[in-house]
Structure 1
Amino acid sequence: MTTPAGKRQELTTRVAALENALTAAGKVATADIDDTVDLYTNRLGPRLGAAMVARAWCDDDYRRALLADATGVLREEDLGDAARGNKGLPFLHLVVVENTPAVHNVVVCTLCSCYPLALLGAPPRWYKSDAYRARAVREPRAVLAEFGVRLEAGTSVRVWDSTADCRYMVLPQRPPGTEGLTVDELAALVTVDSLIGTRRRL
């Protein structure tokens, strides 16, 4: 029986072999591979989505713009890395939905696992699972409860189904007692789960 560490080593070996074959055939350059790794490790991922959320908490004009036209905000800010990381994000539709005391939003992709990779980083394993993709739509409150999110009876749940052309990101509620924090300090509080909606309190 292969151990998890053994599986990781096997995968690493296969990836290295594929990279060597592609570079030897002239299909890709090593520098391009290194740049892509750096892109997703250091320049994209949840830190970008978290920064957008933190700014929205501190700037009402930015929050309103984000909720009205998130794709337009990304274009306006010329987030080239985000666009490249999402294979042309400016040509996709990004929607930001806001959690409030009355409404809780949760994101799923029932078709496969469409996801704003450039803004949230690599999706959690459970996001791609058949169970989450099916149950999040059928019984969202039960699924959220399993993540520790227990909503009041008067709070409605909205489930947003991502597609190949449209991605969603949740704007979570700002945690109480954070009024004195800087934007960077606020961004550090934001988690991937909160950007998907499977976490309510940061």
Structure 2
Amino acid sequence: MKRVILGAIAFLATVPVLNQTNFGLETAIAQNTQTKGQVQLRLDAEKRVIQQVQGQQTSSWQPLQGKALVEPGNILRYTVTANNNTDRNIKNLIVNQPIPLGTVYVLNSATSNVNTGAKITYSIDGGRSFAETPNVKVSLANGKVETKPAPVTMYTHVRWKFGSSIPARGSVKGIYQVKVR
């Protein structure tokens, strides 16, 4: 069984302006020679908007298009959609997504739209290795070294491994949130 590994990249340009950041978002297309255009990736972003309605706080998601203005503290939700453009099932699809610069991953926010689930793992080393819970070695005051879970500020990538087949002409989604620094 051949594994298909794809990476969607958010083309983000950050330009600080009075504590605000402009994010330029574009569609990301998979360019993997193993799939030869069989799988197309699309990256969509939304910003969480909190409003007061009749004295109650409500939350909704606003799509970000083109150059969008975000501020430190804003929560963004990214959705990577992998479309199977073939007439046959694709097995063992793996989608990697970098955490955009200027943001921090929101712990436990990564999900998938697949009922059978996808194995979600994370990288803290620029996408070279992945683990369900990345760990780091920490030197204690007494000189001992312990292994502890890495802080989310170290997360660099999210990975979805779709073990079940992606049906012909079907699609899967990987979703995660980040907080703007």
What TM-score results when the alignment is normalised by the length of structure 2?
Answer: 0.26
Q: Indicate the structure with greater strand content.
A: 2
Q: Indicate the structure with greater helix content.
A: 1
